[in-house]
Amino acid sequence: MNEQPDFSRIKAFIFDVDGVLTDGSLLCLASGEQVRAFNIKDGFAIRHAIKKGYVVAIISGRKEEGVYKRLQSLDVQHIYLGVENKDEVFQAFLQEQNLVPEQIAYMGDDVPDLGVIQQCGLAACPADAAADVLAVCHYVSEIPGGKGAVRDLIEIVLKRHSKW
């Protein structure tokens, strides 16, 4: 893809978790719990986008209670964790929200995200995404995953819409 991004039609954001909202690192505790670190600036941007009327969803292959609680604390209403087929969840989300793919900005970082990336209106990824993803995204943030790449995308879209 790598064509000029079209930010004008975006009404919803969908994000992957590991490698996008986090840097992809896992801290494995003796209890077996796997802990991730989220960027507070990404959290602010997500809440701000929701307050400005954008729909925000999360689609992730992993399912962790701590991740779910963090996303709930940001007022995210559409949280899909433990997803094996992101394409199916993406299509169901579009129908549920009465949206078309061109209205979606999706940020993913690795091969499981490619199906949705190739369908959405604005395909985005963090600077440190996998090569296969970097090659097909409309927008590549200069910021790595878990370090503010989500905020970067939200901020640029909302500024284009005069809502930042």
9 is in an annotated binding site: no
pLDDT at 33: 85
Which residue(s) pair with 58 in the sheet? 15, 79
Cα distance between residue 158 and residue 164, in whole Å: 5
Class of the 12-161 domain? Answer: alpha beta
Cα distance between residue 127 and residue 113, in whole Å: 15
Instruction: Kindly indicate the confidence band of residue 26, based on its pLDDT and cuts at 50, 70 and 90.
Output: confident
Average pLDDT over residues 100-129: 97
What pTM did the predictor assign?
0.95
Instruction: Kindly indicate the confidence band of residue 89, based on its pLDDT and cuts at 50, 70 and 90.
Output: very high
41 is in an annotated binding site: no
Would you say residue 1 has pLDDT above 60?
A: no
Domain boundaries, the chain: 12-161
Residue 82 near residue 63 (C-beta atoms within 8 A): yes
62 is in an annotated binding site: yes
SS3 assignment, position 119: coil
Would you say residue 102 has pLDDT above 90?
A: yes
Question: What distance lies between CA 92 and its chain's CA centroid?
Answer: 17
- Can you tell me which residue has the tokens 């992993």? 62
Using alpha carbons only, what angle is made at residue 83 by residues 78 and 84, rounded to the nearest 5 degrees? 155
109 is in an annotated binding site: yes
pLDDT at 3: 60
Cα distance between residue 49 and residue 28, in whole Å: 32
pLDDT at 147: 97
Would you say residue 32 has pLDDT above 90?
A: no
Q: pLDDT tens digits for 129-157? A: 999 999 999 999 999 999 999 999 999 99
Q: Choose among 50, 71, 47: nearest CA to 60.
A: 71
Would you say residue 2 has pLDDT above 60?
A: no
Cα distance between residue 15 and residue 42, in whole Å: 11
Average pLDDT over residues 30-43: 93
47 is in an annotated binding site: yes
Cα distance between residue 85 and residue 91, in whole Å: 10
151 is in an annotated binding site: no
